[in-house]
Amino acid sequence: MTTDSAIQDVVFSEEAIHERVRELGREISSAYSAEDRLVVIGVLKGSFLFMADLVRVIEIPHGIDFLMASSYGDSMVSRGEVALLHDPKTDLEGRAVLLVEDIVDTGTTLSVLLPHLEERGASRVDVVALLHKRLTSGLVEPRWVGFDAPNSFLVGYGLDHAETFRHLPYIASL
């Protein structure tokens, strides 16, 4: 059995993702000015492809950095605890931060990361999430969302299951 044969359905095609990322780039570009000293921070590893495509369509000058939060590991369900494994080295004092997330599920990850970035001195922190399952308490909502996601386990375009499928150019459900 090849890894790809475990995939059931393509949920968002490569073309649909490409088109939506371009729209997000336009919206984000109009929301910031050079004085905001924008820094775009990707949440590793799941956001790496989205981040790479998104920054190429953001027309405001910006810095780039990454942080890493603990993941689900090999599990498909949230354990409800989040640890910061890598804190960005960039000085965030007085800068607008755009946090780039692959997918928001319960919102637990964001509820830990946002206060942390504010404590690091960011003048404002906004979130762009490619996917949103809308299972959150509603306390922490991304400012921009690529797609509303079905409540199934998604892989591809950066998203993994046990470190497989990240390379797929589309998003599929297992």
C-alpha to C-alpha distance for 60 and 31, rounded to whole angstroms: 9
Q: Which stretch binds ligand 5GP (CB under 6 A): 6-14, 58-66, 100-108, 116-124?
A: 100-108
Residues that bind Mg ion (CB under 5 A): 46
Of the candidates 36, 53, 102, 105, the residue annotated as catalytic is 105
Q: How far is the CB of 43 from Mg ion (least distance, A)?
A: 5
Minimal distance in Å, beta carbon 159 to ligand 5GP? 4
First vs last C-alpha separation in the chain: 15
Query: What does the alpha-carbon distance between residue 134 and residue 56 come to, in Å, rounded to a whole number?
Result: 27
Report if residue 153 touches ligand 5GP, rule: CB under 6 A: yes
105 has catalytic annotation: yes
Token look-up 């044969």 returns 5
User: In the complex, what is the shortest distance from the CB of residue 34 to ligand 5GP, in angstroms, rounded to a whole number?
Assistant: 30
SS3 category, 66: strand
Positions annotated as catalytic residues are 105
